[in-house]
């Protein structure tokens, strides 16, 4: 799968604006783990990628870059149509992110 990973986008809205404004290239992605969080927490994540998230810190080993491939954690809510791919680069917040449609993730 491919997705546009951005460094230090502050929120979903910020990520969308950057992707729309610039010619961002999609990179190869491997989803190492999928984490389903509450609707409330998902809305909070979408609004602030820089906030400390215990579930990011608890999964640092799942997120890394190797041979040009992003190894990410997919975070979504039970009913969300989108998900957030995260590669934290060892930090406790969503340092690199991509916003993806869940239907595209599930269909490969």
Q: What is the pLDDT of residues 34-93, one digit of tens each?
A: 999 999 999 999 999 999 999 999 999 999 999 999 999 999 999 999 999 999 999 999
Structure tokens at 65: 């870059």
Structure tokens at 27: 């990179």
Strand pairing report for 69-76 and 27-36:
parallel
pTM as predicted: 0.94
């Amino acid at each position: 799968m491919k997705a546009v990973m951005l460094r230090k986008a502050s929120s979903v809205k910020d990520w969308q604006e950057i992707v729309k404004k610039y010619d961002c290239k999609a990179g190869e992605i491997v989803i190492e783990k999928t984490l389903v969080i509450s609707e409330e927490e998902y809305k909070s994540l979408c609004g602030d990628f820089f906030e400390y998230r215990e579930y990011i810190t608890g999964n640092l080993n799942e997120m890394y870059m190797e041979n040009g491939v992003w190894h990410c954690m997919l975070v979504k809510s039970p009913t969300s149509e989108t998900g957030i791919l995260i590669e934290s680069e060892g930090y406790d917040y969503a340092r690199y992110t991509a916003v993806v449609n869940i239907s595209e993730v599930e269909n490969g």
